[in-house]
Amino acid sequence: MQSDAAGGARGGTGVWIFRILLVAAAAFFVYTFFAPWWSAKLAALPGEDHLVLHPWGVEVTAQVRASGNDALYAMPWFFEPFIWVYFAACLLALAASLVLNRQISIGRIRLPLATVLIGLVAVSYLAAAGIAYGVGELRADWAGANFIGKSTVTDGGTGNKTKMVSDLEIGYWLALGAGSALLALSVLRRLFVGKAAG
């Protein structure tokens, strides 16, 4: 009886420790979603960071928009709404995983639904970071520029050439860290909550 009670107490403590860690990782995820992932400065324009990439799109200064060369930043109309729906779905999945105790079957394998949800958010966010880099490389190539480093771009309005310096921001690396932290929690969840909790 005493050992069962002690095991239950440890399990309850582990659940709350896991919940705290998951909330912290979710907050980290939210922070990186709004943090800059990439930025570029055009030598011909005053100021810094004339283009700033976030997961939801690219912030562009008025001077860059006036140049008429949108090859570096223009996205399909549905992109930003889709990303916000994805963001909301991730937050709902993480919130649900705090309280869900159900299990699901994947073939012959039974897994806690909470573990699956956290893992899906983690893998999808890591994939999003990789896709963002790949799309950035592609769009920069279309514009005749380098996604990372120094390059020369053409003003779509005047035809003048200007130097551009671009690089990944710390937010990109933090996003990879947030995805990795969520993935680790999905893998280690059972160590905190125990088998009985699901």
| Local confidence pLDDT in tens for the 198 residues of the chain | 444 444 444 457 888 999 999 999 999 999 999 999 999 988 877 778 888 999 988 888 877 777 656 666 777 788 889 999 999 999 999 999 998 888 887 777 788 899 999 999 999 999 999 999 998 898 888 878 889 999 887 766 666 788 889 999 999 999 999 999 999 999 998 888 875 455
Number of folded domains in the chain?
1
Q: Would you state the pLDDT for residue 7?
A: 46
Distance CA(17)–CA(194), nearest Å, equals 12
Q: Would you state the pLDDT for residue 166?
A: 92
Distance CA(146)–CA(151), nearest Å, equals 6
Q: Would you state the pLDDT for residue 172?
A: 97
Q: Would you state the pLDDT for residue 198?
A: 57
Q: Would you state the pLDDT for residue 107?
A: 74
Question: Residue 88's domain is classified under what CATH number?
Answer: 1.20.140
Distance CA(55)–CA(49), nearest Å, equals 16
Strands 149-154 and 161-168: antiparallel
Could you give the C-alpha distances from 67 to 44, 62, 63, 97, 182, in angstroms and in order? Answer: 11, 9, 7, 47, 41
Q: What domain range includes position 49?
A: 2-197
Q: Which of 47, 50, 59, 73 is nearest to 136 (CA)?
A: 73
User: For the chain, percent helix, then strand, then coil, each to nearest 5?
Assistant: 60, 20, 25
Q: Which of 58, 24, 13 is nearest to 181 (CA)?
A: 24
Q: Would you state the pLDDT for residue 65?
A: 73
